[in-house]
A = this chain, B = another copy of it.
Amino acid sequence: MAISEQASADLRLACIQFQPAIGRLDDNLKSMERLIRQAAGLGATVVVLPELADSGYVFDSQEELAAIAAPIPAGRSAMLLCSLAYELGMHIVSGLAERDGDRFFNAAMLCGPSGPIGTYRKLHLWNREKLYFQPGNLGLPVFDTAIGRIGVAICYDGWFPETYRQLALQGAELVCVPTNWVPMPGQGHHLEPMANILHKAAAHSNGIYIACADRVGTERGQPFVGRSLIVGPTGWPIAGPASEQDEEILIATIRLGDVARSRALSERNDAIGDRRTDVYG
A positions within 8 Å CB-CB of B = 123-124, 126-128, 130, 135, 139-140, 156, 159-163, 165-166, 184-188, 190, 194, 197-198, 200-202, 204-205, 232, 234-236, 262, 265-269, 271, 274-276, 279-281
Contacts and interface: CB of A to CB of B under 8 A. Distances in A.
Given A124-B274, A140-B280, A281-B281, A130 B205 contact: no
A279 B205 contact: no
A227 B159 CA distance: 25
Contacts of A235: 184, 186, 194, 197
15 contacts: A127-B267, A130-B268, A140-B279, A160-B276, A161-B161, A161-B165, A163-B280, A166-B280, A184-B234, A184-B235, A186-B262, A197-B197, A197-B200, A198-B204, A200-B201
Contacts of A159: 204-205, 265, 271, 274
Contacts of A190: 236
A90 B265 CA distance: 37
Nearest to A158: B205
Contacts of A123: 276, 279
Copies of this protein chain in the complex: 2
Contacts of A130: 268
A279 B164 CA distance: 12
Nearest to A271: B159
Nearest to A235: B194
A280 to B, nearest CB: 4
B160 A274 contact: yes
Contact of A280 (B162, B185, B202, B265): B162
B188 A197 contact: no
Contacts of A165: 161-162, 280
Contacts of A271: 159
B166 A279 contact: yes
A268 B189 CA distance: 24
Contacts of A188: 236
Contact of A265 (B185, B205, B262, B269): B185
B276 A135 contact: yes
A197 B165 CA distance: 17
Nearest to A196: B197
B194 A275 contact: no
A194 B204 contact: yes
Contacts of A139: 279
Contacts of A161: 161-162, 165, 201-202, 205
